[in-house]
Structure 1
Amino acid sequence: MVPSPVSLFANLPEALPEERCDTLLETPGFRLERILSRGHRTPAGEWYDQPLDEWVLLLQGQARLTIEGRAAPLELSPGDAVHLPAHCRHRVDWTLPDCTTVWLALHFSAEAGAGPAAFSATRQGDDL
């Protein structure tokens, strides 16, 4: 098979009644997804509490996350990434309603030694 490029911005729907997750690549050790949001948020009173670590990168749009134990919500803009360890309770509080927010999410097991390397970059003095 000859590799060919794929655009993460291709085929963005005009209408997005539900958040959409597209699996781009999956192996026994990880799953890579493109997530599309347009005004979507986690339903009131619900939290994500996932068995795998998740590293998420916001490529387009904007979002606000609440992470249990963090004093203030986390505002994400294009280029911002965050590592959510397994069972780190979090929720999406807001995404732009008039623009498709494009996320790249990597789900993996840190127990397999595949944890992210330390990343020292900060944005506006806020640890990512």
Structure 2
Amino acid sequence: MKSQNIFSKIPKNLKCEIFELLINDDTVTIERIISKGQQSSSWYDQKKNEWVIVLKGEAILTFENQTSVQLKEGDFINIPAHSKHRVSWSEPENETIWLAVHY
């Protein structure tokens, strides 16, 4: 086994959000997401619940009912399955690093 660092191998030029699969099996998926000024172009409507934490940076999630949640470093949220949401803002000057657990 080899350890990895969640903050390593971050591209210098982020033209789009990066979704990196870390773990995937029948019950859970864990991914690292890296944003830098991006916004979602469409609504996410996921089949599984999603627990997400911002490890670095800052972003705003907006839900279909127009509720917005600002997430800063260390903030996390549990999003029930089929709760349509999108990233409406992410920090443009620095990377926002998310850890998402789909279960």
For the criterion TM > 0.5, the same-fold answer is yes
Once residues 32 and 64 of structure 1 are traced to their aligned partners in structure 2, the CA distance between those partners, rounded to angstroms, is 20
More strand by share: 2
For these two proteins, the number of residue pairs brought into alignment is 103
Taking the TM superposition and a 5 Å limit, the aligned residue runs for 1:108-127 are 108=103
1:68-87 superposed Cα distances (whole Å, 9 cap, x missing partner): 3364x111000000001100
Q: Whose RCO is larger (CA < 8 A, sep 6+)?
A: 2
- Cα separation, 2, equivalents of 1:24 and 1:48: 20
- What TM-score comes out, normalization by structure 2 length? 0.93
Q: CA–CA distance in 1 between the matches of 2:57 and 2:12?
A: 14
User: Which of 69, 85, 88 does residue 90 from structure 1 map onto?
Assistant: 85
- The equivalent residue for 2:19 is 21
Give the letter for the 1:50 counterpart.
Answer: Q
> Of 13, 30, 39, which aligns to 1:41?
39
Percent sequence identity is: 38
Q: Which residue of 1 aligns with 2:9?
A: 11
* 1:64 pairs with 2:60: yes
Structure showing greater radius of gyration is 1
